[in-house]
Amino acid sequence: MNRLEEHQFQVTGMSCQGCVGRMRRAIQEHDAEAQVEGDPGSGTLSVASCLGADELAALLSQAGYPTEASATDEQIASDSTTTPLAPAEAPSPQEASSASPHRETSASLQEAPSAPSQRLAIQGMTCAGCVASVQKALAATSGVERAEVNFASHTARIHGDVDAEALVQAVESVGYGAEPIVDLRQAERQRAERNQREYRRKLKGSLSSLALAVPLMVMMLIHHPEPTGLARLGWGLVGLATLAVLAFPGRAFFVGAWKALRHHQANMDTLIALGTGTAWLYSMAVVVAAPWLPQAARGLYFEASSMIIGLVLLGKALELRAQGRTSDALHRLLDLQSQSARVVREEGELDLPIDEVRQGDLIRVRPGERLPVDGEVVEGDSHIDESMLSGEPAPVARGPGDEVSAGTVNGRGSLVFRATRVGADTRLGRITEQVANAQGSKPPIGNLADRVSAVFVPSVMIIAVLTALAWYHFGPEPRVIHMLVTATTVLIIACPCALGLATPLSTMIGVGKAAEHGVLIRSGEALQTASRLTTLVVDKTGTLTEGRPRVTDCRWFAGEASDDRTRLLGLVAAIEARSEHPLAEALGRYAHDHGHAHAPDDADTHASDELGNSADSASSLTNSTIEAFESLTGRGVRARDAEGRRLAIGNAAMMQEEGIELADHDLEGWQAQARTLVYLSLDGVLAAGFAIEDPLREDSRDAVARLQADGLKVVMLTGDNAATARAIGKEVGIDEVHAELSPEDKHAEIERLQAEGEVVGMVGDGINDAPALARADVGFAIGQGTDVAIESAGVTLMRSSLHGVAAAIEISQATLANIRQNLWGALGYNALCIPIAAGLFYPLTGTLLSPMIAGAAMSASSITVVANANRLRLKRLRPQNARASRPDTPPSQEVLS
């Protein structure tokens, strides 16, 4: 086999394990056997590869992570299939599908972008055609990697290293306005105020337009006008009044059409301006030249122009009002952010605006107040209501040394805490940012609307011209009137606005509804894929179980007579202190608690030779020295003590590597009780066995039943032994169980399921879950899990419950169904109405569709899309106790080890 050369790089821009994953994929595209591990804290990347240092540095730079320097290289044998993780990341001993200790990971809630991103507020967009124009202009700007424009929120998100001024100029170059969004709260407030002003303006313009149009329409129904004699003067005044409607309430349509024309574009304003303007010009021409025109050509359409403006403005006003609630979830998150903070300074306590609070400031929060920033308590004790972030209803006790989060509410005590994260860097700020990003993203299904809208308005204009020519050359008399009516009606009835709203409105509401249920969806793509899942893969520790394991039994064996148990427990504590694995934490706690006991209980002893008791105190635990620490992923850890003796702590696979035959030691009774077995060996001799229990979550059974009721097959992949996995799987009702798996095995199992045609979701929270989370079609990370798992997932669950996964899937299914309804409704409306407007049914009915009806239909189509999207608010999720809906017979289980 080829020998791998080990390299060390100092990488610029590596902020999390998500970055490490991207670099790993970039390198493995050129060397599939390469082993890549990184430490974001120090910015160090270790690579074992057959590629040279210069080639690796070039690949890393292309992936967006330039290197500063490389360290010395070392030849290593490729037989070593697993490169040990750095101690800070080492998943210790036992279960490959493990989780790290449950702790706050607010820093991980941010997306780890490969390129910087920024937002713009866009002004002047009126339809999907406008979105396409703005997006094309932004994408063509130098330095932009990707641009996403949201018609519902009138915002754009741009990825790439580019100056904001260049982006603004690009938007302005195609006739629209833009300004950078620096503060999300201020931007949302300004947007709400702007929408309210726009709503009032459109409503006022609609009422003034209809005030003229309705009497004219009634008069036209009673008496057909004859613009002759003195009546010509009266109709001329009516024409001037209609011109005032076009010039004032309808001015925005003509201004927008002119801007689009100047930039060689066309949008919805173009259609309305052409339709109403043509009707008014023709009517004025009739008034001026009536005596010289044939009787059949003397039709007047002043009321149509005014009525169309009034109805379209009314539809736009109602649309704005209905859209006002699409960002309710985002607004509620923004409302949790305090406006000021009470900062403790040398001169006393000062109430400062939140923007002036700096990291390291001491902040006092009184009873009942909301915490303004993240921090660490330095003085006082209280109970904090964290339900708005964690979903846990019971207040949590917080005292000196504990972390607290912005947006939570202090109880009865007074606290002083040191600010550790401020502004957008707080946990709440990152959650808010993620919700805003997801609401502004677009599911792949929205690409259909993008492709259609790019050619929609020009196509409608071509259809209108062809319709006019067909009626002029082949239509019955009066041909000119028929030509005018059909062309105008085609222009007016087409609705690109409905196409533009079909996807973003439903996405915004769906993502917001998920956030209300404690589910943070990263992107529209994750939202769409989650709706198609057929199989859900779950980890055991920290997912089905509470993730707070404890040692329930310890059994010592003969063979360690040269040392006492206190000394061994001290070494166990020292070794496990280097790992963040929850089982390691449980062993460490047990070692500290029992390391100075003089003798174990008889029930815990299974040896012919009892060890002597030590006079060492508990301090010996902390003074134990270990060397050559090595973590073997999925198996355990090795180390040497100060005397050079080899210690190993791990599962059965590790004991086999140590040459220990476990069949001679009867511990299977613990496995039957769904407990995890961890072994300790000293110089190749088994010294002790530990039984570790991680209680099952109270809601795991109901959550699995709910997922199965949603049509998913639930599969458990675990590194634990088969007997323990079988017991847990049977108790919970898992469809299929695979045990004793390494992280690579999990990854391969997901690949196998995908090769069989399954759309796979993966739930996990541990370091070892990261490869599987990244490989799955959608990864669901428990919000209290590790940074690595969260950065590898497409969905983050703020609450440590599988019910969050079920809620995410049900909401995604409802959202995608809603988007499809909107798209089919918008496309079907235009496909049906445009031919009718062109006179398709004239041979059967002898009448043409009125432009006024076309205007009303166009407005109604947009309102219908908005109303349908808002139905998502009423979506009721499946009850959390779904076992009643399951079949009477339990699902069959396949346990593989």
Catalytic residues: 539
The alpha carbon of 543 is separated from its chain's Cα centroid by a whole number of angstroms, namely 20
Rounded CA-CA distance 184/238 in Å is 48
- 779 with 478: CB under 8 angstroms? no
- 534 with 452: CB under 8 angstroms? no
Give the count of beta carbons closer than 10 Å to the beta carbon of residue 558.
14
Given CA atoms 452, 453, 455, 459 in this order, what sign does their dihedral have? Answer: positive
Q: Which of 703, 754, 315 is nearest to 544 (CA)?
A: 703
Q: Which residues is 626 bridged to in the sheet?
A: 641
- 71 with 7: CB under 8 angstroms? yes
Q: Which of 275, 212, 273 is nearest to 238 (CA)?
A: 212
- 703 with 803: CB under 8 angstroms? yes
If you ran DSSP here, which 8-state letter would residue 696 be given? B
Would you call 690 helix, strand, or coil by DSSP? strand
If you ran DSSP here, which 8-state letter would residue 107 be given? G
Radius of gyration in angstroms for the set of CA atoms belonging to the chain, rounded to a whole number: 34
For residues 384, 387, 392, 394, the Cα torsion angle rounded to the nearest 10 degrees is: 40
HEC per residue, 27-86: HHCCCCCCEEEEECCCCEEEEEECCCHHHHHHHHHHCCCCEEEECCCEEECCCCCCCCCC
Label the pairing between strands 144-150 and 155-160: antiparallel
Rounded CA-CA distance 334/198 in Å is 23
From edge to edge, which strands make up the β-sheet containing 396-398?
A: 396-398, 382-385, 409-410
Count H helices, E strands: the chain? Answer: 29, 32
Q: How far is CA 254 from CA 173, 236, 317, 417, 776, in A?
A: 18, 22, 18, 57, 50
Rounded CA-CA distance 726/704 in Å is 15
Rounded CA-CA distance 809/709 in Å is 12
- 46 with 100: CB under 8 angstroms? no
Largest CA distance in the chain: 127
Amino acid (one-letter) located at 841: F
- 677 with 691: CB under 8 angstroms? yes
The length of the chain in residues reads: 897
Q: How far is CA 761 from CA 116, 351, 399, 776, in A?
A: 28, 47, 39, 6
HEC per residue, 165-221: HHHHHHHHHCCCEEEEECCHHHHHHHHHHHHHHHHHHHHHHHHHHHHHHHHHHHHHH
